[in-house]
Structure 1
Amino acid sequence: MSASPVIPRTETQVAADLTDFISSSPSSYHATDTAAARFDSAGFTRLHEREKWSLEAGQGCYVIRDGAIIAWRTPASTVDTSGAAPGAATGAGGSSGAVPGFRVFGSHTDSPAFKLKPGNEFAVEGTRQIGVEVYGGPLLNSWLDRELALAGQLSLADGSVVLAQTPSIARIPQLAIHLDRQVNDGLTLDKQRHTTPIIGLAELAEADVIELLAASAEVDPEQVVGHDVYTIPVQTPGTFGAQEEFFASPRLDNLLSVHAGVNALIDVDAAALDSIALFAGFDHEEIGSNSRSGACGPFLADVTERIIASLFPESTRSDYLASLASSICVSSDAGHAAHPNYPERHDPHVRPRLGGGPLLKINAQQRYATDAVGTAAWSQACTAAGVEYQNFVSNNAMPCGSTIGPLTATRLGMTTVDVGPALYSMHSAREMVAISDVVSLGAAAKAFLQG
């Protein structure tokens, strides 16, 4: 087994490590690959869904489904012949019966962007353009006048899949103010006409976009039969501010939570676990999670059931359901800090701030799954980690979005609590967070998974 990677602790170390993680994860498919590389370095074993699993106590494993990844570490304590896990705790995240429960730290690997349409390259006004489709809910204006790369996966004629990422080849140029004198009174962008990227001059065309993607993956473009490819801002993440207290980056929603969960799981001590510590990074959250690799799909249910069946061969379906009943999930996704330029858009009395610690997200309509039991579990994790957390609720006149939290609670019946880092500019091509909140979220994630 290889030595575990060093988990960053200081704000400077965390900022550098998060920069590496995000830069290596331009798409959900790259994010799972980046996470897998970290798990490999920590001695985890990759499993495959089409194979039989033989799990052992104290083992770290992971499995990938498209742009989603689930990884876990089992308690190191020996399982007795009755299938009981000695020393297992009762209550949420523990076990009161024959099998242990799960402590799940959930997140998502995808982010808003523009997705490349198939077979859609054309010349307009002497330029080469590519057809794209809006993915999720990006702040459209934030994507204007930025150099963009293309990244994602290519499927080949032989059935294999490869990752691809071009250099910066695209840009969505904004119309000059001289041609729209009222633009500063209100910018309106047509999603079809005004967000089409330019990738070159028509007269200089030597390779089409598929050829460029294939070249980046070192495959024959004639073998490319399908693609899931997205636009990616190429500006490097980095710190800024009077004391470099802020961190700006694309895809903080939600690679920040993925980063926290991956590092936290690697850092847990199997000898001190009384539950199965599990990290889940789902795909397609930004478009509703309705996919085989999304939180609405069967991925987490499939994996948790197979874990219990492998660790406890004599267990029954009832034992598995008992395990879920004693499990708990933390759904970690970005939330909003009160904006100094738009104070009226937030609840007038609950004012979360950058640098105030991770958010506990609460919503009466269950757009977030937090309840009193989940609140207590998150409070305990933050106390154990020595970090403060802050409440988040929406202004009643502005309904909030949702997360994987309610979906996980609905599908598996786990106690679920919604949390996350406080951001400015959520769904922008370049979002903003306080680096101290990144450190705090990672510490709380580790404390939660450790139990």
Structure 2
Amino acid sequence: MTPRSQSPAPPHHAGRAHTDGLIGFLSDSPTPYHAVRSAAELLEKAGFRQLDETEAWDAAGGGTGGRGHYVVRGGALIAWYVPAGAGPATPYRIIGAHTDSPNLRVKPVPDTGSNGWRQIGMEIYGGTLLNTWLDRDLGLAGRLSMRDGTTRLVDISRPLLRVPQLAIHLDRQVNDGLKLDRQRHMTPVWGLGTPREGDLIGFVAEEAGVAPEEITGWDLMAHSVEPPAYIGRDEELLAGPRMDNLLSVHAGAVALADAAARGELPAIPVLAAFDHEENGSQSDTGAEGPLLGSVLERSVFARGGGYEDRARAYAGSVCLSSDTGHAVHPNYSERHDPGHLPKPNGGPILKVNVNQRYATDGSGRAVFAAACERAGVPWQTFVSNNEMPCGTTIGPITAARHGISTVDVGVAILSMHSARELCGVDDPHLLTRCMSGFLTG
């Protein structure tokens, strides 16, 4: 037997450098606000500059050719690059994604507990797999709203919270079906003693280096502190948090920066990373809000256009809505459509649902196929089992709100909506190459 220390190194996987970058992105982005900051930093390195929504956008702002711009609103980011020679009616090529993930979020009155335990009150955000948050070391991160009107990000990425599961000795039937009460069973512990009002926010203020009385609001959430990791005998898989959907945000930012570096483009490439997709997208930073339309319209006006130019630009635009999809599960293959079984490292997936839970149609399929062919990457198709309700994305919302042709795509993963998800190591890079082919084709 070959000693472990002498076992051969795992083979090189295509795009390993890209996936290394994704690991850093996931680690630096425990909340939507941090994800926006991470994406902005990536784009800043590529020459993009931030615009203020409250200021006028003249040609030197949002309209000048050969420049990249972005705006940030809370947990959402819209970025675009205006190629040299772009006119008012030049169409857009949009990559859509979302920055939020299902998790546990701190309640307005957080300090609670009983029987000598200090606990933190949490609301359940999105359709999370509750059991994946049990017995897991959790940190705390988010956004603090200050008395002077500014905001400050905070990230406590060390074991701080834990949601303890009931021992099997006190629930002998637990393995016959675990049922969790969202109110009673999902409250993490973080210490011993009697809870006192202001404990948590006082602690967070100290971690952030600010006075507690200066904090007038907060958006705080728990996250697993276990770092992303390559796993498997040959390290063919990547396990990590928030792949749904920071994998797509990272891929979109990299693809947009790559498109900007090429200069001459047939359309204006855009990255639209929204918040609140996991609870319906109905917010000023969600896909159903006015943010994307406002930014695109102002960009048309900054290039000297009017309503007619805006209508022409939208009519010629296409959106690639990118979100994770379901890889075939080896233990539950009967839950999948037998003719559509996406596999890890098989390339990005085209997501289809004739009831418009996904926005893909035949023309969208052609756009996606052309992008993959241009990039030289394989691709797969996902369709839900007819007996299984189909999830949805920002795709149908974007198409309906803006009248822009939209196609839904993504990367196949396992454990979707878990505190820790799983994908093939090559797929993030293959998706990015597809996005680059889409933006530049």
| TM-score between the two structures when normalised by the length of structure 2 | 0.93
Structure 2 counterpart of 1:173: 164
Find the counterpart in structure 1 of residue 236 from structure 2: 245
Question: What CA deviation, in whole Å up to 9, does each residue of 1:44-77 have, x standing for no partner?
Answer: 1100100111321011010001100010111123
Q: C-alpha separation between the residues in 1 aligned to 2:319 and 2:150?
A: 34
Q: Does 1:215 align with 2:206?
A: yes
Q: What residue in structure 2 maps to residue 140 of structure 1?
A: 130
CA RMSD in angstroms comes to: 1.5
Given that residues 69 and 281 in structure 1 are in contact (C-alpha distance below 8 angstroms), is that contact kept between their aligned partners in structure 2?
yes
Contact kept? 1:76, 1:270, Cα under 8 Å: no
* Amino acid of the structure 2 residue aligned with 1:71: A
Q: What corresponds to 1:36 in structure 2?
A: 40
Helix, strand or coil at the partner of 1:169:
strand
Q: Give the Cα separation in 1 of the matches to 2:413 and 2:102.
A: 15
Instruction: Map Cα deviations across residues 111-156 of structure 1 (whole Å, 9 max, x no partner).
Output: 0001100122123121110110000011000110001011110111
> Deviation string for 1:386-441 (max 9, x for gaps)?
10110100001111111000000001111100000000000000000001111100
The one-letter amino acid of 1:24's match is: D
Identity %: 50
Match of 1:91 in 2: none
| Cα distance between partner residues in 2 of 1:298 and 1:175 | 45
Q: How far apart are 1:14 and its partner, in Å?
A: 1.9
1:27-426 → structure 2 map (5 Å cutoff): 27-54=31-58, 55-77=63-85, 85=87, 99-166=89-156, 167-202=158-193, 208-268=199-259, 269-311=261-303, 313=304, 315-426=305-416
The alignment's TM-score, normalised by the length of structure 1, stands at 0.91
Matched residue type, 1:267: D
Return the offset for 1:355.
1.6
Stretches of 4+ aligned residues off by more than 4 angstroms: 203-207
Task: Render the CA deviation track for 1:130-188: whole Å, top value 9, x for unaligned.
Answer: 11000001100011000101111011111111111223210001111111111111000
Cα offsets for 1:221-246 (capped at 9, x unmatched): 11111111111111000101111010
CA distance in 2, matches of 1:425, 1:411: 31
SS of structure 2 residue aligned to 1:168: strand
Q: Secondary structure at the match of 2:388?
A: coil
Q: Given the superposition, is the C-alpha separation of residues 426 and 415 from structure 1 closer, same or farther in structure 2, using an over 3 Å criterion?
A: same
Distance 2:290 2:195 in 1: 47
The answer on whether the counterparts of 2:111 and 2:195 sit within 8 Å (CA) in structure 1 is no
Equivalent residue of 1:449, what SS?
helix
Q: Supply the distance in 1 between the matched residues of 2:171 and 2:150 (Cα, whole angstroms).
A: 48
Q: CA deviation at 1:11?
A: 3.0
Letter in 1 for 2:294: D
**Cα offset for 1:203?**
6.2
Report the alpha carbon displacement of residue 216 of structure 1 after superposing the two structures with TM: 2.5
**Contact 2:114/2:194 (<8 A) preserved:** no
The CA distance in 2 between the partners of 1:291 and 1:206, in whole Å, is 30
Residues 110 and 200, structure 2, Cα contact 8 Å, conserved in 1: no
* Count of paired positions: 423
Alignment correspondent of 2:438: 448
Take 2:195 and 2:105, find their aligned partners in 1: how far apart are those partners? 24
Per the TM alignment, residue 444 of structure 1 is displaced from its structure 2 partner at its CA by 0.6
Structure 1: state its 5+ residue gaps: 1-8, 80-84, 86-97
Aligned to 1:16: 20
For residue 204 of structure 1, report the CA deviation from its aligned partner: 10
Whole-Å Cα distance in 2 between the matches of residues 216 and 35 of structure 1?
24
* Post-superposition offset of 1:207: 7.6
> Which stretch has the larger CA shift, 217-226 or 142-151?
217-226
**Deviation (angstroms), 1:201:** 1.2
Q: Equivalents in 2 of 1:135, 1:204: separation in Å?
A: 24
Give the match for residue 95 of structure 1.
none
Distance 1:183 1:436 in 2: 38
